[in-house]
Amino acid sequence: AQSVAQPEDQVNVAEGNPLTVKCTYSVSGNPYLFWYVQYPNRGLQFLLKYITGDNLVKGSYGFEAEFNKSQTSFHLKKPSALVSDSALYFCAVRPYNYGQNFVFGPGTRLSVLP
């Protein structure tokens, strides 16, 4: 079965420190990978995606993500966290040959402390 795991329910980081939000996946073939962010009482906003090519993908708001095929991971990173980055982050995959259905992870709540 296709699945996405985000092993941490909650990540706390001090403002100015680097942050990492982890994502691993289990899908057949070569998936396309996405990160979305959800601010309180808002819908999901697209951050970045990996399709092919360079394993390091840069996205909105200074975020980047690293695709690691051997570890089936797609971790979200930012060199210097801001308090305004505090939100719920979702990893999603678009499996190869699986029609239009995206598979979402359970979400990780990021808290950046001033």
Partner 1 sequence: DVKVTQSSRYLVKRTGEKVFLECVQDMDHENMFWYRQDPGLGLRLIYFSYDVKMKEKGDIPEGYSVSREKKERFSLILESASTNQTSMYLCASSPLRFRPAGPPLSTDRQYFGPGTRLTVL
The residue ranges that bind partner 1 (CB under 8 A) are 4, 9, 30, 32, 34, 36, 41-46, 49, 51-52, 90, 92, 94, 96-97, 99-102, 104-107
The one-letter code for the residue type at 73 is S
Tell me the C-alpha distance between 56 and 51, whole Å. 11
User: 46 vs 61, which CB is nearer to partner 1?
Assistant: 46
Give the CA distances from residue 113 to residues 12, 15, 45, 68, in Å, rounded to whole numbers and listed in that order.
7, 6, 22, 29
The minimum distance between CB 52 and partner 1, in angstroms, equals: 8
The minimum distance between CB 93 and partner 1, in angstroms, equals: 10
Place of tokens 């996946």: 25
User: 75 vs 94, which CB is nearer to partner 1?
Assistant: 94
The minimum distance between CB 106 and partner 1, in angstroms, equals: 4
Contact assessment for residue 92 and residue 36, using Cβ atoms and an 8 Å cutoff: yes
